[in-house]
A and B are shown apart, each in its own frame.
Chain A
Amino acid sequence: MKVFWIVFLVLLFLHQDFWNWASEEVIALGMPRGLLYHAFFSLACSCLGAWAVFRAWPEEWEQYAEQSPEDVEGGEPSGSMSGSE
């Protein structure tokens, strides 16, 4: 998860691409630099998502959802939180 957070923060910084701010150069496919950069940024977000899914998948949460109530300390909803309380 540490890697996910680090890459997330790096991407958050890269999103603020002040170095492209004044550029209007059309690079390819009629797309100016700033737009092409952010299209690639979207691809990078998808890659981070893929990395998270394949390398940092929260198995424990998946198992927690599938376990029967008796298997887990804390158990089922207590039912004590009713409106008449």
Chain B
Amino acid sequence: MNVLLIILLYLLVLLALGWGSSRLFRGTSKDFFVASHSIGPFLLLMSVFGTTMTAFALVGSTGKSFERGIGTYGLMASISGLVHMAIFFLVGIRLWSLGKRHGYLTQIQFFRERFESSGIGYLLFPILVLLVVPYLLIGIIGAGKVIEPVTAGAFPSLFVNPTIAAWTGGVPPWLSGLVICLVVLTYVFIGGSRGAAIANAFQTLVFMGMGMVAFYFVVQSLGGLEQAGKVPLRINEKGDVVQDYRYEPEAGELLANVPPKIIGKVTDFSNSNLTDTHPHLAREAVQVEFKKKNPKTKELEPFEREIGIPFITFVTYLFIPLSVGMFPHLFQHWLTAKNARAFKLTVIAHPLCIMIVWVPCVLIGSWASGLLPPGIPPPAVLSAMLDLLVGDPLLTGLLTAGVLAAIMSSLDSQFLCLGTVFTNDIVVYRAGKDAHSDQKKLQIARTFIVVIVAATYLLAMALKNANVFDLAIWCFSGFAALFPLVFAALYWRRATRAGAIASIVAALISWAYFFHKSGYGGEYFVGPGIVPAAICFFLSAVSMVLVSLITKPPTQSTIDRFFPTRS
């Protein structure tokens, strides 16, 4: 019950912030869509960081590290620090400048003028919506999965049909999803992009803080950092995978397992170098067979897991963070900047913010491999570790608030972005920019946001058992495949309308092909472990270059307009 009260208190604080930010709202559509270009360096950093980090930052990183080990940090976090920083500097500032100079509110407005094509907008609109919607689903489904277990037992007579029996009485996903949607909708509806930026800044501070608090308590319980480093599972001389320690909650201490507890076996132990190693602390790929209980038959069933990361996967993963260059909601955040100087803090501090959030979570995930049963669902690892090592409802409530903060700080920007894109790129564009009054545009945007929230909520409930984290990677892959479009638009004068369309079509077809091959959202690699995003990116880039070179170049006025400097 305490957990639920903390969550409710957190949501009330958010609503109060939304009300507060609505007092700053100037009543114009420009203020609603891009906060009248008034956001300063700190708010920009927090809102951009909060938007790019979903629940994956806390829950997913811990779970992935539990599966694959510390290589998770290099795979997803440190490369994002490099690529995101470069994109903010190389792409973000130019887009902000062109957006402010020419009055763009959306990506599509920029692409339509840069490529002298109305049609490119109609082609991009459904693709962007198609890729943003799963991203929204991740948030709503993720929120439901987080809240139900931590509130289990709160309402035993009211909620009698839980997802699993142990969670009887917990707030069901349909209700938590509904409440989260309504809270986000409220502060976006009344505060627009400034409301979202302020709420994002607050939520980013909350989830960064909660990650560090969770880390502190976990380290304390394990007896310090040095001791914690010995906890991850080990491979013994026979190729058995063993846990050397266990945690006794009653005694509150870490005890040695004598003899070590066998939990699995290396499937190919021909490599003698594996003896006495902790595979979660390195990146060498090792296939291990574990057992887990089937919840229906109650029998132990074997399953295989690859610990570590194949080198080719590690290398090709660098294409995934390119997605931020094409996120429509991030484009909108960039445009809220007061001036170009507001980007400076984001360019410098973004890699550090990633490090502050991800390093503790990755360490907790690798330590968890030596303490938790291997069959536990990866998204449940962080809360299970806190439950085992700390067991404090106040801390669990605060951490849950942190996870919700990470989720909602992405949801708000995406809802707002879809409302902005629909209003400006479809309704206003078709009717002509003077056909609707400013108030009417605001009304259309708000109505569409309500519709998209409702539709997304219903879709999330229909797909509530989907693996949300695998879905996230597919979402990022789609945006990454479109990155050549924005890069060529900004850096290559010769990029043409036909080249742009070819690039989009190549990205779409290749992405759809691999998505189909993955079974619509599962983990999928090509050949020896190549990430599909790398191939989609390559095809998109090649299409852009080849088709642009054989088609008519853009007009001189367009080149003058988008390449005003010599650089």
Contacts and interface: CB of A to CB of B under 8 A. Distances in A.
B226 interface: yes
A16 B113 CA distance: 39
B352 A43 contact: yes
B81 A16 contact: no
B557 A30 contact: no
Given A24-B278, A49-B351, A73-B564, A81 B113 contact: yes
Nearest to B117: A81
Interface in B85-126: 85-86, 89, 93-94, 96-98, 100-103, 112-113, 116, 118
Interface in B255-284: 273, 277-279, 281-284
A65 B89 contact: no
A18 B283 CA distance: 9
A22 B189 CA distance: 51
Interface in B289-315: 311, 314-315
A77 B102 contact: yes
B565 interface: yes
Interface residues of B, number: 73
A60 interface: yes
Contact of B315 (A16, A26, A74): A16
B419 interface: no
A38 B79 CA distance: 9
B322 to A, nearest CB: 12
B516 interface: no
B89 A52 contact: yes
A82 B273 CA distance: 66
B74 A83 contact: no
A48 B433 contact: no
Contacts of B283: 20-22, 34
Interface string B9-32: 000000000000000000000000
B340 interface: yes
Main secondary structure of the interface of B (DSSP, over half): helix
A12 interface: yes
B567 A34 contact: no
Contact of A43 (B73, B103, B314, B355): B355
Contacts of A20: 283
Interface in B332-349: 339-341, 344, 347-349
B429 interface: yes
Contact of B318 (A12, A58, A85): A12
Contacts of B86: 8
B281 A34 contact: yes
Given A39-B355, A79-B433, A65 B100 contact: yes
Interface string A16-57: 111011111010011110110011011101101110110001
A42 B81 contact: yes
A57 B145 CA distance: 44
Contacts of B567: 1, 58, 60
B565 A64 contact: yes
11 contacts: A12-B318, A24-B279, A35-B363, A43-B355, A50-B348, A61-B93, A62-B339, A64-B564, A74-B562, A83-B432, A84-B432
Given A35-B363, A74-B561, 15 more contacts: A21-B311, A26-B230, A39-B78, A41-B81, A42-B355, A45-B81, A45-B351, A46-B352, A49-B350, A58-B567, A62-B341, A64-B101, A64-B564, A66-B339, A77-B102
